[in-house]
Amino acid sequence: MNPEAVVPFVNFFSRWVLFIAVAYKAYQTRDKGWVLLSTAFFINAMDVESYIFKPLGIHMAHEAYRVASQIPNFFIATLLLWGAIHLKYNTSKLKHVVFISVFLAASYIWLFLLAANVFNDNFVVETVFPAFAYSFSLIYFSRVLMEKEISTRSIDSLFPWGLILLALLNFTYPVVRNVDWLAPSAFFLGAVFRLIAAVGAFKFVFIPFFPPETQPPTVKATPPGAFVCPSKERVSEKFGNIGELSNLVVITREELDNIRGKLHPSALVFWVTRVMEGEIHKFPEIYAISPTKIDILTDLIAKAVESGYRVLYIDAVEYLIIENGFENTLKFLLNVKDHVLVANGTIILVVDPEALDPLQRRILEREFSRG
């Protein structure tokens, strides 16, 4: 089969997978940023020219097409930038509103220049600003994904990397589009990059973790609730050997050799470190993650709970406080606590009381029962 004949089908499939994944993420999180992003991917998935007008035999006059063909780039770029800003900052600050306003005003002027044919049908000049805006917004969104949502060494990272490759290719669009011998190859590469992004997005949203193995009847179940213990020995006294649990999630700084040898193969471990990132071991699954990426860690814990994990054990609280401050760490702990308790699970913190000042200790003990 001719590869060029496959391109329209790959593009159609990957566009809609991207939209469905992002829209489902918006539904899951109820986050304004993801809603804006899902609208951008919906506009891209519709591709009115290719999937509606062409099948219906509808053709636009050249003068109208000159303007209409560039409108989606500006719409999508605006929504991607706005949505990514919300993901990164959880709001739109004044400087962000000013930036988007200036961009929209420039887009408005550009469309009128196109309508007036100021560029004398010079395709390169006509498309350079819309192509740049669309590509830049894809790269910015992808960078925010890698900073706030996705580990850069997991299959999920295909989502932002596919978009980045697509954006870099799209930078060349104004020149390559009308080069007969090069354009087909560029369109094929674009389809491949979009498919890569779709695979990563699907994995990121729909298959974050595989469900844990069924808990053996011989293993003592942990009581549901939120607990804070002064030492690992106290955890063993109260809860038994939690390393036997198949539905265990661990956030730790402990030596990797110790982790590998004493946990159930189905356990899930997030090893907090600055020296590496991504999956570093199977059975149990061990992921290295930066201590400052607590937003990503929160999302990963939520996904693990959705997949069936019910016991969360954290013995790296002091380290998270050093890296993020007490207030941010407390917000993280309360967030993951809510996810676990809603699922009738157990969260266990190991915190040396001497590592906290009296006020911090009282705040923590108000939210977590002494174990």
Residue 249: which of 205, 317, 307 has the closest Cα? 307
Residue 151: predicted pLDDT: 67
pLDDT in tens, 250-297: 999 998 888 877 888 889 999 999 887 777 887 788 888 989 988 889
Residue 204: predicted pLDDT: 87
Q: Does residue 198 contact residue 17 with C-beta atoms inside 8 Å? A: yes
Residue 126: predicted pLDDT: 96
Q: Enter the pTM of the model.
A: 0.75
More confident residue, 2 or 27: 27
Q: Residue 1: pLDDT above 60?
A: no
Average pLDDT of the segment spanning 57-72: 90
Report residue 231 as tokens.
Answer: 């030492």
Average pLDDT of the segment spanning 337-364: 93
Q: Does residue 123 contact residue 174 with C-beta atoms inside 8 Å? A: yes
Q: Residue 33: pLDDT above 70?
A: yes
Q: Residue 344: pLDDT above 60?
A: yes
Give me the half-sphere count of Cα atoms (radius 13 Å) on the Cβ side of residue 146: 19
pLDDT in tens, 197-240: 999 999 888 887 777 877 666 667 789 999 999 999 999 999 99
Q: State the DSSP string of 228-292.
A: EESSHHHHHHHH--GGG-TTEEEEE-S-HHHHHHHS-TT-EEEEE-SS--EEEETTTEEEEE-TT
Q: Does residue 269 contact residue 285 with C-beta atoms inside 8 Å? A: yes
Average pLDDT of the segment spanning 332-351: 95
Residue 20: predicted pLDDT: 97
Residue 370: predicted pLDDT: 83
Helix (H) or strand (E) holding 108: helix 94-115
Confidence of residue 2 (pLDDT cuts 50, 70, 90): low
Average pLDDT of the segment spanning 121-150: 94
Q: Residue 360: pLDDT above 70?
A: yes
Residue 153: predicted pLDDT: 62
Confidence of residue 152 (pLDDT cuts 50, 70, 90): low
